[in-house]
Amino acid sequence: MQYKLLSVESRDVINIGDYVQTLAASLFLPQVDGFVDREELDQYQGETCKVIMNGWFMHHPEHWPPSPQIIPLFIAFHLNSSVQQQMLSKEGCEYLRKYAPIGCRDIYTMQLLQKNDIDSYFSGCLTLTLGKKYSCSQKGDKVYFVDPYIDLAQTPKNLVKGIITILRAPKICLKIRKRMDSRRGIKQLLKAAAFYRTYSKFFSVGVMNSAEFITQESSHYKNDFETDAERLNEAERLVKAYASAKLVVTSRIHCALPCLGLNTPVVFTQKESLDEITSCRYGGIKELFNGIDFNGYEGKPNFRYDGYYIDSQIPSNPEKYKELIPRISSVIEKFISCKNNH
């Protein structure tokens, strides 16, 4: 039997978080025989293979359901509200019932499938298991801001606030701009000012000036990495960096969830009011994090906070996520060992 991993090579702008999820799946496989593009699943014509179907489905539902040459395990599966009608057609529902029960990454997906008479359960995310290989007991001094939430709405009010912030703290804004973005320009400087205005209440100037800024979604991951194997290696490099971090602040669930598994302190930041396409991903997941919800520049932590700088008194991660790991592991191990998965 061959074992293959999901990829998203056909996308022009790649979210490396998809490959972080693939990395988590790879740790359970006896060997890796290649990749199958998540957005072209019905096009696969290779040898029969087993594939762990975890992650976000999907940008191109016209390629659903997958090829009969793929034997799937659905775990940590998210079906986005934007494509539910296409993916839950009569044919799509029959396919999912065939491979049920479906392990769902979030409560929304679980409830949606159950409404369509598809046996499902809340599994959480596969990236919670990354700690079994990559956890690092010795944390360093680095703080990472990985696509932290910033209100970048181009309104006259935000523009005025940005200019005032730059005039009041020009050196700090310039330093942050250099760390956030190598490009020079007023747009990048205003973004740095918005970041400083948003996070100066919660983090010291020293940390904001010395932190490393990372973006997980960029054409960089398409253009500068030629193969899926190279992107998987880059995902592993990032996971190792997060594993040794002092603190990670992010709006990316596939930075925050791995950090939980890696036992790295993480603060999840997001907009207080979200559209359905975004919010449907978070049910059952958001509760696992220490987080800050922002309304414009005003943030409301969901953990005990008395006005201190978070980097000087870092809160421990909640441990609820640990309850999900044993079932994830046992379900995948059974899938791998079983000779006939339908």
Task: Give me the long-range contacts of 219-222 (CB less than 8 A, separation at least 24).
Answer: 219/12, 219/13, 219/14, 221/14, 221/15, 221/16, 221/19, 222/11, 222/12, 222/13, 222/14
Asked if residue 317 lies in contact with residue 263, where contact means CB atoms within 8 angstroms, the answer is yes
Q: In this predicted model, what pLDDT tens digit does every residue of 318-339 receive, in sequence order?
A: 999 999 999 999 999 999 998 7
How many CB atoms are located within 10 Å of the residue 49 CB?
19
Portion of the chain with pLDDT greater than 70, in percent? 99
pLDDT at 188 over 90: yes
Find how far residue 256's CA is from the centre of its chain: 7
Q: Region 195-220: what's the mean pLDDT?
A: 96
DSSP annotation of 11 reads -
Half-sphere exposure of 138 (CA within 13 A, CB side): 0
Task: Give the least confident one: 45-49, 189-193, 242-246, 272-276.
Answer: 272-276
Q: What is the model's pLDDT at position 296?
A: 87
Q: What is the model's pLDDT at position 342?
A: 63
Q: What is the model's pLDDT at position 161?
A: 93
Asked if residue 173 lies in contact with residue 165, where contact means CB atoms within 8 angstroms, the answer is yes
Q: What is the model's pLDDT at position 183?
A: 82
Q: What is the model's pLDDT at position 165?
A: 95
Report the mean per-residue pLDDT for the chain.
Answer: 95
Q: What is the model's pLDDT at position 275?
A: 81
Helix (H, G, I), strand (E, B) or coil at 14: strand
Q: In this predicted model, what pLDDT tens digit does every residue of 107-165 receive, in sequence order?
A: 999 999 999 999 999 999 999 999 999 999 999 999 999 999 999 888 999 999 999 99
Sign of torsion over alpha carbons 69, 222, 75, 326 = positive
Q: What is the model's pLDDT at position 225?
A: 96
pLDDT at 11 over 90: no
Rounded CA separation 175/278 (Å): 32
Q: What is the model's pLDDT at position 41?
A: 97
CB within 8 Å of 208: residues ≥ 6 apart: 172, 176, 195, 196, 199, 200
Task: Give the least confident one: 28-32, 101-105, 176-180.
Answer: 176-180
Q: What is the model's pLDDT at position 189?
A: 95
Q: In this predicted model, what pLDDT tens digit does every residue of 57-72 receive, in sequence order?
A: 999 999 999 999 999 9
pTM, two decimals, is 0.95
- The count of residues in the chain is 342
Asked if residue 261 lies in contact with residue 155, where contact means CB atoms within 8 angstroms, the answer is no
pLDDT at 6 over 80: yes
Q: Region 209-215: what's the mean pLDDT?
A: 96
Q: In this predicted model, what pLDDT tens digit does every residue of 249-275 receive, in sequence order?
A: 999 999 999 999 999 999 999 998 888
